[in-house]
A and B are shown apart, each in its own frame.
Chain A
Amino acid sequence: MHFLTAATSTSGKFLTMLLALLAFAAVVGIILFVASLVERRGRRGPVAWLFLLPTVALLIIGLVYPAGRTIVRSLYNAAGNTFIGLDNYTTIFTSEDQLVVLRNTVLWVLVTPFVATAVGLLYAILVDGARGESFAKALIFLPMAISFVGASIIWKFVYEYRDHIENLLPGQQQIQQIGLLNQVIVWLGGNPQQFLINSPWNNFFLIAVMIWIQAGFAMTILSASIKAIPAEITEAARLDGVGAFTMFRFVTLPSIRPTVVVVLTTIAIGCLKVFDIVRTMTGGSFGTSVVANEFYTQSFSAGNQGLGAALAVLLFILVVPIIVYNVRQLRASEGR
């Protein structure tokens, strides 16, 4: 069994992978085989449950049971051996460090969806029907294919800061900036900044990365939605001689409103759970931590499992209403 779990060579890893694939396929194969036996006996009811078995089992083991454990654990102390009621939640809403975490999370959720959606919508309209539309869209969309870690490295380099000499001695060379943003500031005659360190503004420089990623998502979905507006409607408005802004405000926007809401809420959910960007760029230092990152720090570095669990549950509680609203919007848009 050792090679099944602890492969160190490339061929060993691929062998393990093949065996895993076979194992997954075998489970499905056995279920289909048993199902066909049951079916031949003319009993249809159990077949459905056989088909559902692996999904239900995996969901209970992987989601339902762990979520229950975490909720219980959030009521216990750091070591997980003493029941302390809601103390962990009190800590989240009273301790100075945790309040900064909450403030940052609110910033992320309020700023990112609106800016990303606005940029995406603007761009979708600007390039709609233009020559080279698909190429223009690909440029904005490509960040979506990049991992958050990769995106964070890309932007960390844009923000890179080199020690700047305030008062140059005669004959001394000024240190060259290698980050684009600081170089632009120098070109404009300003002093370079430590974008990722100066709180609370550093939060906005992290948020910019998320906007950079999500604008492409917003653009693609909104563009499809705009193209789906019946031509008769726009034609009629055009014959009435309405201006560009009126057209946008009274024809385009109302037609795509449900989609806009879905895009906003989807990005908001992503922002609540944002972890990779904060972890990679600052590790949550310099007052940039958010709930999802603080959860990781408390659970796996600081050894406070109770507080970590409470943060995870808080995330859960914050996500639910947005998703419910999102689903309702979807239903409403379908019901029209």
Chain B
Amino acid sequence: MMTQPTTTVVTAPGEPGSPRRAARRSTAGEEAKKRLSSPWASFAAVVLAVLWTLPTFGLLVTSFRPEADIKSSGWWTVFTNPSFSLENYRTVLGTETQDGLSKYFINSIAITIPAVIAPILVAALAAYAFAWMNFRGKNILFVAVFALQVVPLQVTLLPLLELWVDLGINRTFWPIWLAHTMFALPLAVFLLHNFMREIPGELIEAARVDGAGHVTIFFRLMVPMLKPALAAFGIYQFLWVWNDLLIGLTFGGQPNVNPLTVALFNLTGTRGTAWHLLSAGAFVSIIVPVVVFVSLQRYFVRGLLAGSVKG
């Protein structure tokens, strides 16, 4: 069901303990670990954590070092010979020149917001129909929408590109918005449908008895109750769109449309060793998803547990 790991992984480490956990006995994992003799377990955990953090840390330190230092010595030498500057960020954001990353930063924002909201709007309607309406061919259509997740992006790119050219909207934001919306729909419909099914049927029935139509139920009942679900899907769609390279590369193609990822990609291609620009540029693009992720991780957990593992 999760065909796009990069987008689906929307969880956060360590959800605040549920009531059951507070009074629980030790879990299987803890049991296994206790027997692994704790000092060694802690040591192994620290080694893994350091291995996983060091590459990012190294580039972060590098981004604050003067260009000449980056070229002549490793980042680890800052501990014995510290020297820092913000020059790389100033250069890469290009506050003085027109060629900096700040333009692409704006592009990324302009791409991401509609590409997150549009699929939610469209999918919420369809998910409601699948969850709470009866019509002929419902099951077949639902399976068909679900099954479309297997279509890899690559299969659609060239025909879509031709379509954008025919419509005269190639190299604008529109192809990118539309493509992200289209590709998000199968998973969005599926996830929102699952959430909607969890709402007790008696609530819907009671509303129906009171004479409420589907449109009223959709707005008065579904939308308020779905807030956590919408947030969960929204966050992961945000990560997917913000971090996407393939669609931006294929349908962007000009500086006023290209997202940050494409700008960074071009930077690696043309100036493979301009590490002062690459390191600062990478962190300009990384900072937004990391902040969103850290501040909204509660919703990631819900999205993952309700939508992904349990299905």
Contacts and interface: CB of A to CB of B under 8 A. Distances in A.
Interface of A: 5-8, 10, 13-14, 16-17, 20-21, 24-25, 27-28, 31-32, 35-36, 39-40, 44-45, 47-49, 51-52, 54-56, 58-59, 61-67, 69-71, 73, 119, 122-130, 133-150, 152-158, 160, 176-180, 183, 212-217, 220-221, 223-227, 229, 231, 233-235, 237-238, 243-245, 247-248, 251-252, 255, 259, 262, 266-267, 269-270, 272-273, 275-276, 279-280, 283, 292, 295-296, 299-300, 305, 308-309, 311-313, 315-316, 319-320, 323, 326-327, 330, 334
B308 interface: yes
Contacts of A229: 27-28
A123 B53 CA distance: 14
B76 A183 contact: yes
24 contacts: A20-B114, A24-B122, A39-B215, A47-B129, A47-B214, A48-B133, A49-B135, A59-B148, A61-B182, A62-B160, A73-B159, A126-B44, A128-B30, A135-B13, A136-B49, A140-B52, A152-B268, A157-B55, A157-B62, A216-B9, A296-B154, A320-B150, A326-B1, A334-B310
Nearest to A186: B74
A150 B32 contact: no
B70 interface: yes
Interface in B18-62: 21, 24-36, 41-42, 44-45, 48-49, 52-56, 58-59, 62
B14 interface: yes
Contact of B122 (A58, A128, A178): A58
Range of interface residues on B (Cβ < 8 Å): 35 or more
Contact of A154 (B59, B151, B294): B59
Given A66-B159, A180-B58, A283-B269, A223 B29 contact: yes
Nearest to A65: B159
A179 B285 CA distance: 22
A70 B158 contact: yes
Contacts of B80: none
Given A244-B34, A248-B32, A142 B56 contact: yes
B107 interface: yes
B25 A235 contact: yes
A334 B311 contact: yes
B186 A59 contact: yes
Interface of B: 1-6, 8-9, 11-15, 21, 24-36, 41-42, 44-45, 48-49, 52-56, 58-59, 62, 70-76, 106-107, 110, 113-114, 117-118, 121-123, 125-126, 128-130, 133-135, 138, 141, 145, 148-160, 163, 169, 172-174, 177-179, 181-183, 185-186, 189, 213-216, 218-219, 239, 242-246, 249-250, 256, 261, 264-265, 268-269, 273, 275, 278-279, 281-282, 285-286, 289-290, 292-294, 304-305, 308-311
Contact of B156 (A25, A67, A158, A244): A67
B279 A24 contact: no
* Chain B binding surface, main DSSP class: helix
A323 B107 contact: no
B269 to A, nearest CB: 7
Given A244-B35, A300-B250, A51 B48 contact: no
B264 to A, nearest CB: 5
